[in-house]
Amino acid sequence: MGNYQLTYKPFGESAILIEWPQIISKEILKDIRFFVTKIEHQKSKDILELNFIYHSLLIIYNSKNCYFAEIKNTLESIYENELHIPEKLEKTLWHIPVCYDEEFGIDLAYLSSEKKMPVEKIISLHKSVDYTVYGIGFLPGFLYLGGLSEKLSFPRRDSPRLAVPKGAVAIGGNQTGIYPQSSPGGWHIIGNSPISLFDIKKEIPCVIVPGDEIRFNPISKEEFELIKIAQDTGNYELKSITNA
């Protein structure tokens, strides 16, 4: 039995977009993941790709003989079907080391004066939350995180920086994130993580998946350098706890 009223829309010749109610919620994300698991259980050869983020699920089919009405019926019955409901949905909590030193957190002083909040308070609010990964996009390995304290919400820069360094941890609007590679960006930089969120040389380039959670773990500049070296030599593994 499905929990939500879903909207099915054709999206071009060979894709379907399924939308849950337009709110950002952990329950919706969980419902999407249940549905994805049930669809994957069917092992349909026609499905090229399942892609979900926030309240949307995109299904790309591998043929142009993608008959919307037919596929919608099939998907609806899979959603309503109580068989093959996974007993548990695994979720991993990842500990992401972040150095909040002012050498990296170049906008901490600015945020502190604008928000009239000590730098220590900004860091403590930022590190004390387990953030939900609602999806990955924008750049390979860029996590859309939910859970930023309202007290840290702050509008983006008027003009984006041309190059935000790789690993930068930043705040933009009511979101926080980590830049997986150097790129232009308009968020305020509060620290840097020495880890590579996306490494194409690895068999699994990005170990964090939508549905997981992350926690920022403050480290010193010395630890930052050590982790960087360990990672460059292939001797660093992200700390994580997996449970259902």
Partner 1 sequence: MLKILQPGLYTSIQDTGRFGYRNIGVPMSGCMDSISGGFANALLNNDKNDAVMEITMVGPKLAFMASANIVITGAEMCAELNNNPILNYKVYPVQNGDILSFGKLKKGIRCYLSVSGGFQSEMILKSRSFYAGITSQGFFKKNDLLSFKHQEINNKHPKAAINTKIPFYDTNAIEVFKGPELELFSSRELRKILSTTFTVSNDNNRMGYRMEEEVVKHTKSIITSPVLPGTVQLLPSGKLIILMKDAQTTGGYPRIFQLTEKSIAILAQKRARDTVELKLITDL
Does residue 164 contact residue 187 with C-beta atoms inside 8 Å? yes
E strands of 6-159, at which residues? 7-10, 15-19, 47-53, 56-61, 91-98, 131-136, 143-146
The one among 2, 86, 137, 147 contacting partner 1 by CB under 8 A: 137
The one among 97, 105, 141, 194 contacting partner 1 by CB under 8 A: 141
**Tally of helices (H runs) and strands (E runs) in the chain:** 5, 14
Q: Which is nearer to partner 1, 137 or 165 (CB)?
A: 137
Q: Which is nearer to partner 1, 100 or 131 (CB)?
A: 131
Is 179 an interacting residue with respect to partner 1 (CB under 8 A)?
no
Residue among 192, 124, 194 nearest 152 (CA): 124
- C-alpha of 104 from chain center: 22
Is 15 an interacting residue with respect to partner 1 (CB under 8 A)?
yes
What is the footprint of partner 1 within residues 61-90 (CB under 8 A)? 64
Give the span between the Cα atoms of 211 and 186, in whole angstroms: 26
Task: Give the type of residue at 175.
Answer: Q
- Tell me the closest approach of the beta carbon of residue 113 to partner 1, in angstroms: 29
- Tell me the closest approach of the beta carbon of residue 49 to partner 1, in angstroms: 5
Is 128 an interacting residue with respect to partner 1 (CB under 8 A)?
no
Handedness of CA 240, 38, 27, 143 (dihedral sign): positive
- Tell me the closest approach of the beta carbon of residue 34 to partner 1, in angstroms: 16
The residues, any chain, with a CB within 8 Å of residue 220's CB and separated by 6 or more, are 99, 101
Q: Which is nearer to partner 1, 56 or 193 (CB)?
A: 56
The one among 6, 31, 32, 56 contacting partner 1 by CB under 8 A: 56
Q: In this structure, how many other beta carbons lie within 10 angstroms of the beta carbon of residue 145?
A: 19
The one among 136, 171, 189, 190 contacting partner 1 by CB under 8 A: 136
Is 94 an interacting residue with respect to partner 1 (CB under 8 A)?
no
Is 33 an interacting residue with respect to partner 1 (CB under 8 A)?
no
What is the footprint of partner 1 within residues 191-220 (CB under 8 A)? 198, 200, 205-206, 209-210
Is 53 an interacting residue with respect to partner 1 (CB under 8 A)?
yes
Instruction: List residues bridging with 10 in a β-sheet.
Output: 16
- Tell me the closest approach of the beta carbon of residue 17 to partner 1, in angstroms: 5
Q: Is 163 left (phi over 0), alpha (psi -120 to 50) or beta?
A: beta
Size of the site for partner 1 (CB under 8 A): 39
Residue among 113, 131, 110 nearest 24 (CA): 131
Q: Which residues are near partner 1 by CB under 8 A?
A: 9-13, 15, 17, 19, 22, 24, 48-56, 58, 60, 64, 135-142, 144, 180-181, 198, 200, 205-206, 209-210
